[in-house]
Copies of this chain bind each other. A is one copy, B any other.
């Protein structure tokens, strides 16, 4: 693992969260029209209200809520849903981010019982729901499933799952952390995706590159029921305007560029797949996110990345994740405006160099 601080000295970073100098961001924000609005007070007024209006318009819902932390919004939504349903069984994908990356927070903090469906590699299907043998109170689908290699439930399957829930009176929640790229992949509007579910969480700090915050979309009645859970989880911070203003800028500047980000991801993956010992997952990315699997020992690969970071000031990755093959390591790629500072060919050349270095080191 390469020390994160080394990212600061890099001129090009293939990563959604490149550190930056707060002073530069503040200077930009001071010029924003949104910063001329008064501050919110505990999330009411100013930019926060505007985010809510924009979200309702984009997703066609009667209600929307802005929240500084996604984990809180999803816990509030799941808890409100199980309380409404009178059924605490929640069907999720086995690799669901809010389960495996947050230390079982949901089940530990709430009287919720997860039923973990599918394999570690593909989204679950309506068949998996049929096979459950019981009817859950809530079905949650992550789009795409990050920890299953950014695999996206096909639209046709999503519609089937939606219908399955409707027929049984099950609350259907979408974990749409990356829903803006997903809408592009489906060729559908955000309203059309929203129409399939009862509640949807979207994140502003993935494709839209803001400094934090998320939206919870649902009808007004459901949001009113979730309100008490937002409060109990500490969502009512005195001021949320820094996150709200950058969310508005993200919607203005980056939402129109999602197609561009996806096209870049596809071209980048195609170029990466030509490198010996490299293949991407998905083979053809559907959204701006994908994994790169590299046949090289972990230590050699990370050392090669570090060498490149120091010599060329280019950051491809600082950390290799395990795959099912001991000899294959994975890195994650998230395309946004920042990661497009080099051309596809330039990034592919840098990756090729790092992989070459790592693989030559094996032979030594």
Q: Which residues of A come within 8 Å of B, CB atoms?
A: 4-5, 8, 17, 19-27, 29-32, 34-39, 41, 44-47, 68-72, 75, 102-105, 108-110, 205, 211-212, 228, 231-235, 237-239, 241-242, 245
Cβ contact within 8 Å between A30 and B35: no
A70-B234, A232-B105 are contacts. A22–B46 as well, Cβ < 8 Å? yes
Q: Which residues of B contact A37 (CB under 8 A)?
A: 21-22
State how many copies of this chain the complex holds: 2
Q: A103 CA to B231 CA in the complex, in Å?
A: 8
Complex partner residue of A237 from B69, B105, B109, CB under 8 angstroms: B69
A205-B238, A212-B237 are contacts. A39–B22 as well, Cβ < 8 Å? yes
16 additional contacts (CB under 8 A) given A26-B27, A72-B234, A109-B233: A4-B41, A5-B38, A17-B238, A19-B39, A19-B41, A19-B45, A22-B38, A23-B30, A26-B29, A30-B30, A70-B234, A102-B231, A211-B238, A212-B237, A212-B238, A233-B233
Q: Which residues of B contact A245 (CB under 8 A)?
A: 22
Residue in B closest to A26 when the chains form the complex, CB atoms: B30
Q: Which residues of B contact A228 (CB under 8 A)?
A: 103
A44-B4, A234-B71 are contacts. A22–B17 as well, Cβ < 8 Å? no
